[in-house]
Amino acid sequence: MSPVEIAAIVLAGLAAGLINTVVGSGTLITFPTLVAFGVPPVTANVSNSIGLVPGSISGAIGYRRELKGQRGRVLRLGAASFLGAIAGAALLLSLPEDAFSAIVPVLVLLGVGLVVVQPWVSRWVARRHASAGGLPENGAWWVWPSVGLTGVYGGYFGAAQGVLLMAVMGIGIEEDLQRLNGVKNVLAAIVNGVSGVVFVAVHFLVEPYIDWTIVLLVGVGAVVGAQLGATVGRRLPAVALRAVIVVVGLAAVVSFLVSS
Protein backbone atom coordinates (compact mmCIF):
# COMPACT_ATOMS: atom_id res chain seq x y z
CA MET A 1 0.00 0.00 0.00
CA SER A 2 1.48 3.33 -1.09
CA PRO A 3 1.80 6.39 1.19
CA VAL A 4 -0.86 8.13 -0.90
CA GLU A 5 -3.31 5.26 -0.38
CA ILE A 6 -2.56 5.16 3.34
CA ALA A 7 -3.16 8.91 3.70
CA ALA A 8 -6.35 8.74 1.62
CA ILE A 9 -7.81 5.89 3.70
CA VAL A 10 -7.00 7.64 6.99
CA LEU A 11 -8.60 10.86 5.72
CA ALA A 12 -11.63 8.93 4.49
CA GLY A 13 -11.92 7.34 7.94
CA LEU A 14 -11.67 10.77 9.57
CA ALA A 15 -14.41 12.14 7.30
CA ALA A 16 -16.58 9.07 7.98
CA GLY A 17 -16.16 9.38 11.75
CA LEU A 18 -17.14 13.05 11.65
CA ILE A 19 -20.09 12.51 9.32
CA ASN A 20 -21.37 9.43 11.19
CA THR A 21 -21.45 11.37 14.45
CA VAL A 22 -23.27 14.38 13.03
CA VAL A 23 -25.40 13.03 10.18
CA GLY A 24 -24.72 9.36 9.47
CA SER A 25 -23.68 7.76 6.15
CA GLY A 26 -19.91 7.94 6.60
CA THR A 27 -19.65 4.53 4.91
CA LEU A 28 -20.48 6.30 1.64
CA ILE A 29 -17.04 7.95 1.97
CA THR A 30 -14.86 5.05 3.13
CA PHE A 31 -16.37 2.20 1.13
CA PRO A 32 -16.00 3.82 -2.33
CA THR A 33 -12.48 4.94 -1.40
CA LEU A 34 -11.45 1.37 -0.60
CA VAL A 35 -13.05 -0.06 -3.74
CA ALA A 36 -11.34 2.63 -5.83
CA PHE A 37 -8.00 1.31 -4.57
CA GLY A 38 -8.85 -2.17 -5.81
CA VAL A 39 -10.11 -3.74 -2.57
CA PRO A 40 -12.74 -6.45 -3.29
CA PRO A 41 -16.24 -5.21 -2.28
CA VAL A 42 -16.91 -7.75 0.49
CA THR A 43 -13.42 -7.29 1.99
CA ALA A 44 -13.87 -3.51 1.78
CA ASN A 45 -17.30 -3.68 3.45
CA VAL A 46 -16.21 -6.03 6.25
CA SER A 47 -12.91 -4.24 6.96
CA ASN A 48 -14.65 -0.86 6.86
CA SER A 49 -17.37 -2.00 9.29
CA ILE A 50 -14.78 -3.16 11.82
CA GLY A 51 -12.64 -0.06 11.33
CA LEU A 52 -15.58 2.24 12.06
CA VAL A 53 -16.34 0.57 15.42
CA PRO A 54 -13.88 2.73 17.43
CA GLY A 55 -15.25 5.83 15.72
CA SER A 56 -18.84 4.87 16.61
CA ILE A 57 -17.85 4.39 20.24
CA SER A 58 -15.93 7.67 20.20
CA GLY A 59 -18.96 9.47 18.79
CA ALA A 60 -21.23 7.98 21.45
CA ILE A 61 -18.84 9.17 24.16
CA GLY A 62 -18.83 12.62 22.59
CA TYR A 63 -22.63 12.72 23.02
CA ARG A 64 -22.60 11.43 26.61
CA ARG A 65 -24.24 14.65 27.84
CA GLU A 66 -27.30 13.99 25.66
CA LEU A 67 -27.42 10.36 26.81
CA LYS A 68 -28.03 11.17 30.47
CA GLY A 69 -31.30 9.67 31.68
CA GLN A 70 -31.71 7.40 28.64
CA ARG A 71 -30.14 4.20 29.96
CA GLY A 72 -33.39 2.21 29.75
CA ARG A 73 -34.10 3.39 26.21
CA VAL A 74 -30.57 2.56 25.07
CA LEU A 75 -30.72 -0.93 26.58
CA ARG A 76 -34.13 -1.66 25.08
CA LEU A 77 -33.36 -0.42 21.58
CA GLY A 78 -29.81 -1.74 21.81
CA ALA A 79 -31.21 -5.27 22.07
CA ALA A 80 -33.04 -4.75 18.76
CA SER A 81 -29.87 -3.43 17.12
CA PHE A 82 -27.89 -6.37 18.52
CA LEU A 83 -30.20 -8.99 17.03
CA GLY A 84 -30.53 -7.15 13.73
CA ALA A 85 -26.77 -6.79 13.35
CA ILE A 86 -26.24 -10.53 13.77
CA ALA A 87 -28.84 -11.25 11.09
CA GLY A 88 -27.37 -8.66 8.70
CA ALA A 89 -23.80 -9.90 9.13
CA ALA A 90 -24.91 -13.50 8.62
CA LEU A 91 -26.76 -12.48 5.48
CA LEU A 92 -23.67 -10.78 4.06
CA LEU A 93 -21.42 -13.77 4.73
CA SER A 94 -23.89 -16.45 3.60
CA LEU A 95 -24.74 -14.95 0.22
CA PRO A 96 -22.29 -15.31 -2.71
CA GLU A 97 -19.77 -12.47 -3.04
CA ASP A 98 -21.05 -11.84 -6.58
CA ALA A 99 -24.50 -11.13 -5.13
CA PHE A 100 -23.11 -8.39 -2.88
CA SER A 101 -21.06 -6.91 -5.73
CA ALA A 102 -24.17 -6.82 -7.92
CA ILE A 103 -26.31 -5.07 -5.30
CA VAL A 104 -23.63 -2.55 -4.20
CA PRO A 105 -24.75 0.19 -6.65
CA VAL A 106 -28.33 -0.18 -5.41
CA LEU A 107 -27.22 0.02 -1.77
CA VAL A 108 -25.07 3.08 -2.42
CA LEU A 109 -27.92 4.79 -4.31
CA LEU A 110 -30.27 3.96 -1.43
CA GLY A 111 -27.83 5.53 1.01
CA VAL A 112 -27.40 8.61 -1.18
CA GLY A 113 -31.18 8.92 -1.54
CA LEU A 114 -31.67 8.78 2.22
CA VAL A 115 -29.06 11.47 2.70
CA VAL A 116 -30.76 13.70 0.11
CA VAL A 117 -34.22 13.40 1.70
CA GLN A 118 -32.95 13.68 5.28
CA PRO A 119 -33.64 17.45 5.59
CA TRP A 120 -37.29 16.94 4.61
CA VAL A 121 -37.58 13.96 6.97
CA SER A 122 -36.04 15.98 9.80
CA ARG A 123 -38.38 18.92 9.24
CA TRP A 124 -41.38 16.61 9.11
CA VAL A 125 -40.29 14.96 12.35
CA ALA A 126 -39.77 18.36 14.00
CA ARG A 127 -43.26 19.51 12.96
CA ARG A 128 -44.75 16.28 14.23
CA HIS A 129 -43.02 16.73 17.59
CA ALA A 130 -44.41 20.25 17.82
CA SER A 131 -48.00 19.18 17.16
CA ALA A 132 -48.33 15.56 18.27
CA GLY A 133 -48.79 14.14 21.70
CA GLY A 134 -49.91 11.06 23.51
CA LEU A 135 -47.17 8.64 22.46
CA PRO A 136 -46.16 6.12 25.12
CA GLU A 137 -43.07 7.06 27.11
CA ASN A 138 -41.12 4.23 25.45
CA GLY A 139 -42.31 5.24 21.97
CA ALA A 140 -44.70 3.64 19.51
CA TRP A 141 -44.89 -0.17 19.45
CA TRP A 142 -43.27 -0.36 16.00
CA VAL A 143 -40.09 1.47 16.99
CA TRP A 144 -38.39 -1.63 18.45
CA PRO A 145 -38.88 -3.92 15.40
CA SER A 146 -38.01 -1.03 13.05
CA VAL A 147 -34.73 -0.47 14.89
CA GLY A 148 -34.12 -4.20 14.56
CA LEU A 149 -34.64 -4.05 10.78
CA THR A 150 -32.30 -1.07 10.61
CA GLY A 151 -29.76 -3.25 12.42
CA VAL A 152 -30.14 -5.91 9.71
CA TYR A 153 -29.43 -3.27 7.08
CA GLY A 154 -26.48 -1.93 9.09
CA GLY A 155 -24.98 -5.38 9.59
CA TYR A 156 -25.23 -6.07 5.87
CA PHE A 157 -23.93 -2.75 4.49
CA GLY A 158 -24.42 0.12 6.91
CA ALA A 159 -24.43 3.25 4.74
CA ALA A 160 -27.05 5.72 6.02
CA GLN A 161 -28.21 3.51 8.89
CA GLY A 162 -27.94 6.63 11.04
CA VAL A 163 -30.45 8.40 8.79
CA LEU A 164 -32.84 5.46 9.11
CA LEU A 165 -32.44 5.34 12.89
CA MET A 166 -33.14 9.05 13.27
CA ALA A 167 -36.24 8.76 11.08
CA VAL A 168 -37.58 5.79 13.06
CA MET A 169 -36.88 7.24 16.50
CA GLY A 170 -37.81 10.78 15.53
CA ILE A 171 -41.23 9.69 14.32
CA GLY A 172 -41.98 7.13 17.03
CA ILE A 173 -40.43 8.67 20.17
CA GLU A 174 -41.24 12.06 21.65
CA GLU A 175 -37.81 13.31 22.64
CA ASP A 176 -35.38 16.12 21.85
CA LEU A 177 -33.67 15.32 18.54
CA GLN A 178 -30.17 15.96 19.89
CA ARG A 179 -30.82 13.39 22.62
CA LEU A 180 -32.06 10.94 20.00
CA ASN A 181 -28.90 11.62 18.00
CA GLY A 182 -26.91 10.47 21.03
CA VAL A 183 -28.95 7.26 21.13
CA LYS A 184 -28.39 6.86 17.38
CA ASN A 185 -24.62 6.93 17.90
CA VAL A 186 -24.83 4.20 20.55
CA LEU A 187 -27.06 2.00 18.37
CA ALA A 188 -24.72 2.43 15.40
CA ALA A 189 -21.80 1.45 17.63
CA ILE A 190 -23.68 -1.69 18.69
CA VAL A 191 -24.46 -2.66 15.08
CA ASN A 192 -20.90 -2.07 13.90
CA GLY A 193 -19.44 -3.81 16.94
CA VAL A 194 -21.66 -6.88 16.82
CA SER A 195 -21.30 -7.36 13.07
CA GLY A 196 -17.56 -6.83 13.53
CA VAL A 197 -17.37 -9.67 16.07
CA VAL A 198 -19.22 -11.94 13.63
CA PHE A 199 -16.84 -10.98 10.82
CA VAL A 200 -13.76 -11.59 12.99
CA ALA A 201 -15.05 -15.00 14.09
CA VAL A 202 -15.70 -16.04 10.49
CA HIS A 203 -12.32 -14.62 9.43
CA PHE A 204 -10.44 -16.87 11.85
CA LEU A 205 -12.69 -19.93 11.85
CA VAL A 206 -13.95 -20.19 8.27
CA GLU A 207 -12.48 -17.90 5.63
CA PRO A 208 -10.31 -14.74 5.83
CA TYR A 209 -12.31 -11.67 4.80
CA ILE A 210 -10.56 -8.91 6.74
CA ASP A 211 -7.71 -6.61 5.72
CA TRP A 212 -6.31 -5.57 9.09
CA THR A 213 -4.28 -2.71 7.64
CA ILE A 214 -7.50 -1.15 6.36
CA VAL A 215 -9.15 -1.72 9.74
CA LEU A 216 -6.31 0.12 11.50
CA LEU A 217 -6.20 3.04 9.06
CA VAL A 218 -9.97 3.56 9.00
CA GLY A 219 -10.16 3.13 12.77
CA VAL A 220 -7.51 5.76 13.52
CA GLY A 221 -9.16 8.28 11.22
CA ALA A 222 -12.67 7.50 12.49
CA VAL A 223 -11.78 8.05 16.17
CA VAL A 224 -10.35 11.49 15.45
CA GLY A 225 -13.23 12.35 13.12
CA ALA A 226 -15.85 11.29 15.65
CA GLN A 227 -14.44 13.63 18.29
CA LEU A 228 -14.39 16.44 15.76
CA GLY A 229 -17.99 15.59 14.90
CA ALA A 230 -19.05 15.74 18.53
CA THR A 231 -17.51 19.21 18.95
CA VAL A 232 -16.75 21.18 15.79
CA GLY A 233 -18.96 19.03 13.58
CA ARG A 234 -22.17 20.23 15.21
CA ARG A 235 -21.41 23.70 13.87
CA LEU A 236 -20.56 22.63 10.32
CA PRO A 237 -23.19 23.27 7.63
CA ALA A 238 -25.16 20.05 7.27
CA VAL A 239 -25.75 20.80 3.59
CA ALA A 240 -21.98 20.75 2.97
CA LEU A 241 -21.62 17.35 4.63
CA ARG A 242 -24.52 15.94 2.64
CA ALA A 243 -23.10 17.37 -0.59
CA VAL A 244 -19.80 15.55 -0.04
CA ILE A 245 -21.63 12.28 0.64
CA VAL A 246 -23.81 12.60 -2.46
CA VAL A 247 -20.90 13.45 -4.78
CA VAL A 248 -18.72 10.59 -3.53
CA GLY A 249 -21.62 8.15 -3.56
CA LEU A 250 -22.71 8.98 -7.11
CA ALA A 251 -19.09 8.82 -8.31
CA ALA A 252 -18.84 5.36 -6.76
CA VAL A 253 -22.01 4.17 -8.52
CA VAL A 254 -20.73 5.42 -11.88
CA SER A 255 -17.40 3.68 -11.25
CA PHE A 256 -19.13 0.38 -10.43
CA LEU A 257 -21.34 0.55 -13.50
CA VAL A 258 -18.47 1.44 -15.86
CA SER A 259 -16.19 -1.31 -14.55
CA SER A 260 -18.90 -4.01 -14.55
- pLDDT tens digits, the chain, 260 residues: what are they? 899 999 999 999 999 988 888 767 788 889 889 988 999 988 999 999 999 998 888 888 888 888 888 899 999 999 999 999 999 999 998 988 888 878 878 877 877 777 677 777 667 766 665 665 555 666 778 899 999 999 999 999 877 788 788 878 877 887 777 788 889 989 999 999 999 999 999 999 888 889 999 999 999 999 999 888 878 766 767 677 667 667 766 776 776 676 55
Residue 175: phi and psi, rounded to 5, are -160, 155
Instruction: Tell me the C-alpha to C-alpha distance, in Å, between residue 254 and each of 26, 115, 118, 162, 168.
Output: 19, 18, 23, 24, 30
CA distance 107 to 122: 22
| CA distance from start to end of the chain | 24
- 140 exposed, middle or buried (CB, 10 Å; 0-12, 13-18, 19+)? middle
